[in-house]
Amino acid sequence: MKKIYSCELIMKTELCRGVYDYVVKAPEISELAEIGQFLHINCGGKTLLRRPISICDFGEGFVRFAFQVKGEGTTELAKREVGDMIDIMGPLGHGFKTTEGEKAVVIGGGIGVFPVLGLARRKNTAVFLGFRNKDMVVMEDDFKEACDNVTICTDDGSYGYDGFAIAAMGEYLLENKADIIYCCGPKPMLKAVKQIAEHMNIPCQLSLEERMGCGIGACLTCVCKTTGTGMAEHKQVCTCGPVFDAKEVVL
């Protein structure tokens, strides 16, 4: 039987304004976790639904996740302090499917950088991270420790590469071969990466986000549009994803 866990918050850091990095004690979750899976968190307060939040990192006995305060749920979650217990279901969904020895490109945008940290640790990987501006750059140290080929990009050029991460990735791909692209970020980034991957004939996996209900595949609310027909035209992000083969989804 799967369980719902009450996890102690053991580390809380504000990465930049309104973006929090949490580490919770969660031995059962960390033992099963895979890169790209998510947690379904009861944020407390007056919220009724849980909120899906991607796993950023995990290790012996702990799970780490980060989130941006956006609505009621994340506002409530941000109120938790070290020592508080957090009600968590997980790990849920399907993560990134990696192959040993592949030459990978990892691209993340905004808060979409968190789920791809684990991918950055793999050999032969080039990482492109996009942020709106210098103040919103997060987890630079984590990524640079994980990988020696990290390009930080800002939309306004206030830090690192001047422009979109997609542009930096595009330039890299003109000079370098890649066996696969992994991406997590806002919809315009997902769309662009999917287009580039298809144009260059590179396999690609995208981590999607959608408003979610049960988190376990039963309520059929968090669907994405796919190339399938009939009932298969919509697939649950929670159980069929959140990571999909880019060729399968229609964005």
Name the site residues for other proteins (rule: CB under 8 A).
Answer: 1-4, 42, 46-50, 72-73, 89, 210-225, 229-231, 233-234, 239
Closest distance to other proteins from the beta carbon of 183 (Å):
19
Closest distance to other proteins from the beta carbon of 125 (Å):
31
Closest distance to other proteins from the beta carbon of 124 (Å):
35
79 vs 211 by CB, closer to other proteins: 211
Closest distance to other proteins from the beta carbon of 19 (Å):
20
170 vs 217 by CB, closer to other proteins: 217
- Would you state the structure tokens that stand for residue 8, as one six-digit string? 């102690």
CA gap 35, 91 in Å, rounded:
10
DSSP string of 143-209, one letter each residue: HHHH-S-EEEEETTSSSSEES-HHHHHHHHHHHS--SEEEEES-HHHHHHHHHHHHHTT--EEEE--
11 vs 220 by CB, closer to other proteins: 220
Closest distance to other proteins from the beta carbon of 45 (Å):
12
78 vs 216 by CB, closer to other proteins: 216
Helix runs in 5-137, H state only: 27-32, 72-77, 117-120
Provide the 3-class DSSP secondary structure of residue 87: strand
CA gap 141, 204 in Å, rounded:
26
CA gap 59, 103 in Å, rounded:
24
